[in-house]
Amino acid sequence: MRDEKLLIRLSDTEKTLLDQYAQRQGAMTATWARMMLLRSVREPAPPTQYALYTPTADRPTLLSLFCGAGGLDQGFREAGFRTAVAVDIDNDCVKTFAYNHPHAKVLKRDIRAVTLRELDRLAERRIDPMGVLGGPPCQSFSVSNVHQSNDDPRHRLPEAYASLLRRLNKRKAISFFVFENVPGLLGRKHIHRYNRFKKLFEKAGFAVFEQPLDAKDYGIPQERPRIFIVGINQHLHRGVSWTPPSPESRTITVADAIRDLPEPVYNARGLDPDAFAVHPNHWVLVPRSKKFSNGVMKEGEMWGRSFRTLRWDKPSWTVAYGHREVHVHPNGKRRLSIYEAMLLQSFPQNYRLLGNMTAQVSLVSDAVPPRLALRVAQSIRESLRI
């Protein structure tokens, strides 16, 4: 039995377009085409319950709080929702969100100080969203934070979220809200804060449902357990409960996501991200530790929290980095590029993070995986029949 070769015939116009695109990415045409073909085969297709939508004025509108890089909103956008207004206190979050979600108005503000009048003025009309999204910074609730304190001001952010939601809901009923955070929020140390936060929602007429979801169960090459809290307005949707998305059967590995990528650009002064091959975020810290050159960094091994070498054949550990200490590439010779981390988070290839290297590490670490957000959004549409 002879081997069959795959032959793809292209028109002259198609060949020219392919050559031009590969050149812009700094790669040989055949290499780039092969890489993109393999990735399209390996990447799981998105769930098909709903088509992927382009945001337009007639889509159900959302208000996004603690919007971050926009991973949660990206998933909801792909499920047919449209973010009208997004709020975050961090400048790099605001810039990144505005760049990737040009249909939204973005406000740089501490949500504890946000007024409805301010949101209306930004939206240039009265904002009456169907849903509210958000997940306040999770570091104060994380079990990995060994410096937790009872007077951490971030402990009050969930209550600020609930307060703003209550004011919006009083003006015009909101169908649902989504709140994402680390499992530590429901841990023994913080459960009293969560119960207080939950009561605020229930007083506003929402039935509240909690569900732990792990990204690796939803076609994402990363272990990332998180708590999703969904509230359904019982005045609008009496007796309706939220049914979480069903897990997927196939496990996606690090190799599925990043194996075919060429080497990234190493961080240096004066770089132009628009000139990077492959992607503007495909850059990486210069490997300075001797561990990257003496052969001790083996696949799947850890040298403390700072040096975790990924395995090709497994999902990544949680993409949650600090002090620019990104996980180590499976080859053991460098850390991951920002773009590789974005792919482990399931960001689409045309998504871009702005800011310097430190900012981008935070942006990708704190984001909700868009593919998981898509599944949550679809489950809400099914529960509400919208």
Average pLDDT over residues 114-137: 91
In the chain, beta strands by DSSP E: 61-65, 82-88, 105-108, 131-134, 176-181, 206-214, 225-233, 265-266, 283-284, 302-303, 307-308
Task: Give me the phi and psi of 375, to 5 degrees please.
Answer: -65, -40
Query: Do 325 and 306 contact (CB within 8 A), yes or no?
Result: yes
Residue 2, pLDDT score: 46
Half-sphere exposure (CA, 13 Å, Cβ side) for 315? 21
Residue with the bigger pLDDT between 16 and 134: it is: 134
Residue 46, pLDDT score: 46
Q: Annotated catalytic, 138? A: yes
pLDDT digits (tens, 9 = 90+) for 199-239: 888 887 899 999 999 999 999 999 999 999 999 999 999 99
Q: What percent of the chain has a predicted confidence (pLDDT) above 90?
A: 63
Query: Do 50 and 378 contact (CB within 8 A), yes or no?
Result: yes
Query: Do 237 and 175 contact (CB within 8 A), yes or no?
Result: yes
pLDDT surpassing 50 at residue 148 = no
pLDDT digits (tens, 9 = 90+) for 345-374: 999 999 999 999 999 999 999 999 999 999
Sequence letter at residue 172? K
Reported CATH class of domain 61-144+151-248+369-384 = alpha beta
Among 138, 157, 284, 354, the one annotated catalytic: 138
pLDDT surpassing 60 at residue 251 = yes
Query: Do 150 and 156 contact (CB within 8 A), yes or no?
Result: no
pLDDT surpassing 60 at residue 287 = yes
The Cα-based distances of 178 to 174, 206, 224, 304 in angstroms read 12, 11, 17, 34
Residue 182, pLDDT score: 79
Model confidence band, residue 25 (pLDDT cutoffs 50, 70, 90): very low
Global model pTM greater than 0.85: no
pLDDT surpassing 90 at residue 64 = yes
Residue 243, pLDDT score: 97
Q: What is the mean pLDDT of the chain?
A: 84
Q: Using alpha carbons only, how large is the chain's radius of gyration in Å? A: 22
